[in-house]
Every structure is written in C-alpha cells, then in structure tokens.
Amino acid sequence: MQSNTSSNTTFLERLAVARLQHTVNELQTQVDQDRTLVAPTRKALYCVCDDTALTANIPELKRFVADKSITMIVPFATLDSLDRLKKGTENANIHARESIRFFDRAQTAAGRKQITGVRIQGPTEKFSSWEECLAACAGSAAATDPELQQPPNHIKELLNSAVYHVNRFVVKGAAGDQQQQKVLLVTNDEILRDWAELYGVPTARSGEIAGLVKREEMEYMEKRRHYDFAMNNPRSPASPGGGRGGRGGGMGSSRGGRGGGGFARRDSWKDEEPRSPISPNGFGGGGGRGRSPRDSNPPDFVLRGPPRGVARGRGKLWEP
C-alpha cells in the first residue's frame, strides 16, 4: 500500500514538472516572437511623373507630397516638356507654370521652408545606353522579343528614368529578403502607358493616385493594429479545458454548478410527454443543484413536498 502511494506521488511530481516545462517553453516562444516584431512604417509611393500628369493634377499631387504620401521624381524630359508648355492661358499652361515654381522651391529654400518629397533627376540617375536599360528589363515582353521596335526618343528618355528608379528602390526587408518599393510611372498618355507595359514598368493615371494612397494608408493601419495587439497582448499559455462549472454551469464542464451544467438534460425522461406545471409546494426536477435522474423511466409517484428532515418549507408527505 505504501509503495502504491509513493509511485502515485512520483507520477504526480513528474506530471507537474512536465506541465511547468511546457509553460516555460511557450513563454520563451512568445518572447522570441516579440523580439522579431518590427513596427510597420508608412510607405510613400515613388511617382515618376511626366508632363501630362503634372498639367492635369499638380494641385492634388502637391498635397500628397506635403502629406508625405508620395515622393515625386521628375525626369529631365518632363522638365523640358513643362518649359515648352509654360506660355499660354489654358489650364495646362497654368499648371505647367505652377509645377515649375513648385520644383524651384523644392531645389532652393529661398528664405522659406524647403519642400521635401521631390527628387529632380540627377545627371547620373539613368542608364548610360538604351541597351543597358533593356538589360535591366529582364523578363519583360520587350526584353524577350528582339524584333520589337524601339520606342520614340522622347519616350525612351522617360522609360530610361522609370526603369532606373524601379531597379534602384530595392530595399532589404526585416527578414533579410529583397523588397521592391512601389515605383510608378504616372502619366495620362495612353501611348506611353502601352510602351511602359512592354518594358515591365507599372503605371498609373494622375487621377488614380488618390485611390492608391488611400489603399496604402489602410494597409498601414491594419498592420499597425496587428502590431499593437501583439505587443500589448502577449499570448499566455493555453489552460486545459474542463473543470467544475460555476453558477449556471458551463459547456463542456464535467460537473454542473448552481442551475446545472454540461450538455445532458436532467429531465430527458419527460421528452415523450408534455411537461406538467410544477406546484408551488412541489419538489420537481427543474431548478435543482445540477442533479440528474437515476432512473430513465418516469416515477410512478408525485411529490407533494420535501421529505422529512429538509429545512426548506413545509409540505405533505408523498402519496403513492
């Protein structure tokens, strides 16, 4: 008898040690995951803009630059086109002049706060030859079709700048992998859009930038919400189910509390006939302390009150 008690105690001790080790392992796993979490950051779209986009939506694009939602990249070819369009009274001419003034302020502070988020193409920010640009488009339709006709020169200059920046803005992610920043050629020229598609350059119309910015903001807010939840609510070790139910019982509990518990019905034997009303002085099966019938058949007697010795109320003896 003593040996059985000793073996049971040893088994319980081993079980407690195993449970404790499992809890420690889960907590260590959670700590390791928290260390690898990286706070999300807002990603600005890199927009290589041509003259058709600027003359159509420069006020809206300026607002996105001020909000740090986009970074505007201005190729030399775009500046040349704006310079030709700056004279006149049409909306395109007015917006061309506004664009030139905006880029001047971005280059020189001139006693005012310098504008950030605008990048004028540098002398070396392009491929030295069209062949080199074509080699950077590996996998595109233009690179796999040697008989494809080359685009006009003014389109070549814009594509050269766009392909250069698409390949330039590749950053190293948190997991060590290469992540491509979103670089778009923003233009309303359908011919240029068709050429850009052949060379694998993503494009967008100037009127579509608002929707893209909104989508980026929604993605950031969703990632931020998950990050904050993970940081503020560390995962606790899972506790085993079951156990004794409290007041009102609980689903899946092995023993019901006050008012019953578990899935089984205490009055299942009454399913075959309508339930009769309970007498105010009666002692029925409903509302008890989790009791269940011992016999599956209905009793052949009716209780008129509690048996003798029960402290609650006064009632008559049962009658057969």
Comparing CA positions, the residue from 124, 187, 125, 183 lying closest to residue 155 is 187
Domains of the chain in sequence order = 45-232 (3.40.50.1010), 264-320 (no CATH)
Q: How crowded is residue 99: how many other Cβ atoms within 10 Å of its Cβ?
A: 25
What 232-240 contacts at long range (C-beta under 8 Å, 24+ apart), as own/partner pairs, is 234/30, 234/34, 235/26, 235/30, 237/22, 237/23, 237/26, 237/27, 238/26
Separation in Å, CA 297 to CA 156, 276, 290, 292? 92, 16, 19, 12
Q: Which residues pair with 100 in a beta bridge?
A: none
At residue 141, does pLDDT exceed 50? yes
Mean pLDDT calculated for residue range 12-33: 76
Token match 């920010």: residue? 125
pTM above 0.75, yes or no: no
Q: What is the pLDDT of residues 65-123, one digit of tens each?
A: 999 999 999 999 999 999 999 999 999 999 999 999 999 988 876 556 777 899 999 99
Average pLDDT, the chain: 75
Please report which confidence band the pLDDT of residue 153 belongs to, taking 50, 70 and 90 as the band edges: very high
